[in-house]
Structure formats: structure tokens, C-alpha cells
Amino acid sequence: MKYEFPSDFWWGSAVSGPQTEGVHENDGKGASIWDQWYQEDPEAFFDQVGPEETSLFYTKYKEDIQLMKQTGHNSFRTSIQWSRLIPNGVGEVNQKAVEFYNNVIDELIANDIEPFINLYHFDMPMALQEKGGWESRETVDAYVEFAKICFDLFGDRVKKWFTHNEPIVPVEGGYLYQFHYPNIVNMKKAVQVGYHTALSSARAIKAYHESDQDGEIGIILNLTPSYPRDENNPEDVKAAKIADAIFNRSFLDSSVKGEFPSDLIELFDEIDHLPVTEPGDLELIKNNTVDILGVNYYQPRRIKAKESDTKLADGPMPDDYFDYYEMPGRKMNPHRGWEIYEKGVYDILTNLRENYGNIKCFISENGMGVEGEEKFINEDGQVEDDYRIEFLKDHLRYIHKGLEEGSNIRGYHMWTCMDNWSWMNAYKNRYGFIAVDLDDNRKRTIKKSGYWFNELSNNNGFND
Ligand code: BG6
């Protein structure tokens, strides 16, 4: 059977500025929370590899864009690092950053690769974090100024903008589960941070739509379908619905429908955790929803009714309302500890079609991080990552099914282009179509999956 996709389907990959560019002498970049955290606690990072080098995209972007061509990219997402463009978060613009992002955008376009640009990928400028980061409403104002500057500088050529990547992750990592700076556990602050992020997104969308630009603007969400252990057990179903409200619908509803889910509001109200808002905010969020939705899909969330009485913290936590369920026989990616459940991507598309007006969308990340890929290097020096090709096919079959049933899906971006720096996991797990040799000046070599993806993109599909 041939799995055929529309001729204008977007094929490509996603990266982020902080995970690929590196920090270079005299580049004028200010510190972000990642630079600061690494300075404070290098041991928190796998093998103590920090954010200074990453994959050296800052200097190797031309070579990388040629590799993108060879791996079938017709589109590519990266992010503009706020702390590179505006080192203090507000105020002076770094002209070296303007030059760098202009060069990258121009080089992509010259090679027929459409740039998709995201404005925030977990990388708060340290100068703003010191004043509270997303806890503070001033950060929302600063972010909107940053967004407007980006639209003015690059919007003549960039026609796909995204306000945030996975906005729930800094809420979870920074304020609940301690895997992002500032690493505190405080659900009240987490809610405020989430609220300000949602508000910032709507305000950036408003600014874009009010400008004379003619592209589209959206948001990228990591949607983790929330499956109850037993669909016939009301307590499991209720617990799964709460997890869905907190981790998915919080940003999905506010971004696509312009309103927060009523069950989430009730839950926060009951524990006196409603965020501080200002008059007019909710109307602004209602009137400024996304044109397009990026869906990052890695894993499902399996939930059962609360059984244990373990408390993760003194104060309230999401986990007070549910327990995680380890489904017997589930397929795991042992390197990342994430379940692989291909059908999840189809369930997301169906949900968007049935409950979110079939919003225009694309898969903006999907991928498989594997440790020790050196084991799979053949005598020609190529990583034979057949498991990644299988992973791709398994997901694409379900995406195709969604398409056939009428889902408004426009493309598929893999995480990621070249192996990159994965935050606290640094270079532990490799995700790329292109291997990066840390011991040889970050030398790049296309993996087997990269060649497979090239064929997929050239044929707009694959035979099975
Ligand atoms: C997504 C992020 O959560 O998944 C990326 O947008 C991240 O920044 C990717 O790198 C893979 O996750 P991880 O934690 O293994 O790097």
C-alpha cells in the first residue's frame, strides 16, 4: 500500500535556538536561565555538558542548511533566542543577532526551505527571571515588545510564526517538578506563570494581526492524550479528565477557543489558586486565538484514580488528583522512559477535528531519543537507525488515517534535524536525522533515517 500525502505537505524538522546555536565569543548574547543554571550547578546536567557549545549552529548554519536539503526538508522550525536578540530582555537590540537570524532566514529561503519561527522555547532572559520571569506581569509586556521587534525585523520573509513551544513545560519544570530553572515547587505560582504565558501568547497574536503582515501565527503545544486505566470506571475517567484539563486543555482551549476550561477554573477556585488577572484580559484572550496549531506528540498519559497517599509537596500538586498508571505490555522507549503509542497522534487529530473546529494544524515535533547510537554506526560511518524509520512509519500511518478522515493536517516535522543539546539530558539521547560527533568538532553525518526522510519527502509518501 502507498501512503500518499498532499503535494504541498510540509516535511521537515524542528530545533530551538538554545539547543543548537551555542554561545560564542563577542556574539553579544545575554544570559538565559539555562546559562545561569549551568553556572550555578553544572552537575545537574548529563556529563556536565552545558549550553555554551550545543551543536554550533551559529557558525555552521550554512552547512546545516545544505544537510537539510539532502534530508528532504521543505520547511524547518527554529526559535529566536530572546536573550540573543535583546540581551537584557528589554531595551537594546543586539545587531549581531539581527545579522545572524537574517542570514539563517535568507539562507533557508534561498534553498527553498520555509522558515517557521518560534518566539519562546523555554529560554527566559536571566535579567527578566531576576524580576520574577513569567510570575511577573511586566514580563508579558516585555515579551510582546520582543515579539513586535521580531515581526518588524523578519516578518517580510517569515510567514509562519509561533508564540510559544510547549508552554506547559516551563510551568511543570520550573514550578512543580524541578527540571527547569528556577526549580521551585509552588502550584500557586505555577498557575500564575501559566496564565501570564497564555496572556502573552494572545497579546502577541493581537500585535501580529494588527500589523500589516500577511502570514500566520500560532502556538506549539505538546498534547499528551490522557487515557483512563478503565474507561468504564468513573473514578479513573474523572482522574484522567483532570489530568487532561491541567496538562492539555489549559493551553489548547485558551489558544484555540479563547477560553480556559471550566473544570480547570473550578479546580483552582476550590483550592484558592486562581491567578491574578486584570480587567479586559479574558476578552483579549477570547478575541485573539491562533491561526494554526503545532502539535508536539511524544507520549500518552495513562491515568488511574488516586490510590496512593503519597504527597509530592506540602502544598497542592496536580498529582493530588490522579495516579499514573503503568499499562501492562506498553511499548517503551527505555532511553527516555517514554511510552511509544502511535495511535495517540490519530486520537489527537480526531479530537481537534471533533472538538476544536478542525483547526489547521501540523505535527511540529515527534521523535525518538536513543542513547548510545555509536553502536549502530556501520563501516561507512553511518548510523543505521532502522528503529527511527520504523517509529516514523508507525506514526505516519496514523497521520494518514487522520488525513483520510478529514483532519486539517498540513505537515510533519521531526524532532530533530541534527542531534542536539537536550536541556538537563544534554547529549545523552540522540534524536536527529543527522549525527553530531562531540569528539570531532561537532562533525555532521546523515543517518539512515535522514536518507529515508529525503525519499519520503520527494515521493510525498511511502510504500509499505
Ligand atoms: C520537546 C521540546 O519537549 O521535546 C524539545 O520541545 C526537547 O526542546 C524534545 O528537546 C525532546 O525532549 P528531551 O527532554 O528528551 O530533550
Catalytic residue positions, numbered: 166, 365
Residue 236 binned pLDDT confidence (cut-offs 50, 70, 90): very high
pLDDT at 137 over 90: yes
171 pLDDT more than 90:
yes
Residue 412's pLDDT band (cuts 50, 70, 90)? very high
Q: Alpha carbon of 93 to those of 81, 96, 127, 273, 463: distances in Å?
A: 12, 9, 14, 37, 49
Calpha distance 175→184 (Å, rounded)? 5
- Over residues 72-92, the mean pLDDT reads 99
Q: What is the mean pLDDT of residues 394-405?
A: 98
If you measure from the C-alpha of residue 266 to the centroid of ligand 1, how many angstroms do you get, rounded to a whole number? 31
pLDDT computed for residue 53 by the predictor: 86
> For residue 389, what are the CA distances in angstroms to 89, 386, 395, 420, 453?
40, 5, 10, 19, 8
Residue nearest to atom 11 of ligand 1 (CA): 422
Best residue among 54, 373, 423 to mutate for probing ligand 1's pocket (most ligand atoms within 8 Å of CB) is 423
CA of 356 to the centre of ligand 1 (A): 25
Q: Is the pLDDT of residue 310 over 90?
A: no
Amino acid 312: pLDDT: 87
Q: How far apart are CA 148 and CA 338, in angstroms?
A: 37
Ligand 1 pocket by Cβ (under 6 Å): 16, 19, 165-166, 169, 222, 296, 336, 365, 369, 415, 422-423, 425, 429
Nearest Cα to 108, choosing from 70, 64, 145?
A: 64
Percent of the chain with pLDDT over 70: 100
Q: Could you give phi then psi for residue 113, rounded to 5 degrees?
A: -115, 120
Q: What is the mean pLDDT of residues 192-198?
A: 99
* Tens-digit pLDDT profile for residues 242-293: 999 999 999 999 999 999 999 999 999 999 999 999 999 999 999 999 999 9
Average pLDDT for residues 91-95, to the nearest whole number? Answer: 98
Tell me what pLDDT residue 189 has.
Answer: 98
**Gap between the Cα atoms of 264 and 270, Å rounded:** 10
Does a cis peptide bond (omega within 30 degrees of 0) precede residue 224?
no
Q: What is the mean pLDDT of residues 290-307?
A: 98
Does residue 311 carry a pLDDT above 90?
Answer: no
C-alpha grid cell, residue 248? 492539555
What is the pLDDT confidence band of residue 63, given thresholds at 50, 70 and 90? very high
Q: What is the pLDDT of residue 449?
A: 98
Give me the domains of the chain, ranges plus CATH numbers.
2-463 (3.20.20.80)
Whether the Cβ atoms of residue 198 and residue 227 lie closer than 8 Å to each other: no
d(CA 176, CA 94): 33
- pLDDT category, 50, cuts 50, 70, 90? very high
